[in-house]
Structure 1
């Protein structure tokens, strides 16, 4: 099997593991997971979660350090989440809900870091 394909598959497994960790972290904080890995034309969302009247479209980043995770959360990726959130909001949010885009960093040997409302575009 070509190395690039193996690398992509390993990255996929790591990404799914990070999303599972992030989903459990959110659950421990009182969130309910509404959907995982939602893809639509123009964007995708790793997790969609609700707590009370807030619906969060969550981008999950797993890296070796928080700094590299923050660098991986660039405007391009956030814009894709924003496009997906805009198109999916009517499916997951109700009238009067607060809809926002959050991020969660998964870094080895540390608790997940949840960053609320990271997109203001």
Structure 2
């Protein structure tokens, strides 16, 4: 059960990744840049925290995959990026790869597992 909380950290870190990527593109004021920097710090701190208990390569791949998918969806929903079916299909394929990678990560590979 503890590993599930570590994976939730990775998902949370990916949410903050989406925030800071959006901030890098759209920040214009000092406060927006400050929020962007805080999101970067939180994102990487939480991801690194999760990687102390989970396999680093899998954590990073899931983090980047979820962040990429989230950024693409956020661009379409929040900023009027044109909807393209092929882009959505590719995001779904990316997410399938991320979920598959997480599923094939054996419990024995997880640090601290018995």
Larger Rg over CA atoms = 2
- TM-score interval w.r.t. the shorter chain? 0.3 to 0.5
TM-score by length of 2: 0.36
Higher strand fraction: Structure 1 or Structure 2?
Answer: 1
TM-score by length of 1: 0.34
